[in-house]
Structure 1
Amino acid sequence: MFASNTSPRARTRQYSSSSSTASMSQRDSMDLDNSGALDIQRALDIARNTEGDLDHYVAKYLEEQLAEVWHRLESRPNSYVLSKDEFAIFNYFVGRYHDSTVAEKAIARFWSSYQDNASS
């Protein structure tokens, strides 16, 4: 079970998709709805579906989210259980942590917790 006090609130960020460096397809993918809100799942969808350079604002948002997740993992390396969104962001960047026992244990705890929740 995920600890409710350790899961961050769903974070959103407003951004403009009118960047002159963003390709037309990137702008279209960023405008999935008219709210302009960026959350982890939306940012990951954009990143996974972008060919070429990722929009600077999306890349920055993902890096900030990853830094926050890693900070939480480092503060409780033997007990912190990732939420689904935290796991998604961490999994997107997992190659950076291939030699980390903290990362390995966090992934194992996530899957153990996920399987426990699925069977209840």
Structure 2
Amino acid sequence: MSADPRHHLGRLGERIAAEHLERRGFVVLARNYRTRWGELDIVAHDGERTVFCEVKTRRLGSSSTPLEGFREAQQQRVRKMAVGWLQEHPDRPHTAELRFDAVGVTIDATGRLAALEHLEGVF
């Protein structure tokens, strides 16, 4: 694991987001799935839908909120990565719906969750 504090913060946010999805009844199928276009943060399903979830994490007091950094270009990359994941995992649960969510996680100075915003079907 990288010694970069941003890397640690991002992984913490992804863990918190995965736990949030699990509490909501999702099973996490993949985390940090690497593709040639980048990394899918979380792929999950709840029996009815497969969700590709982008996670953005910030420290409390940052100049921007977590989801402000999620732009159209990144949405396009997440779509490409999702297609790649679906093609590479024919044994996955097949669901009637594919959805793209975004989860914004804010962490306080002690490393605890300060806020979590989950936007369903955001793009």
Q: TM-score, normalised by structure 1?
A: 0.28
Greater fraction strand? 2
Would you tell me which structure has more helix in proportion to its own residues?
A: 1
More relative contact order, 1 or 2 (CA 8 Å, 6+ apart) = 1
TM-score normalised per structure 2: 0.27
Larger Rg: 1
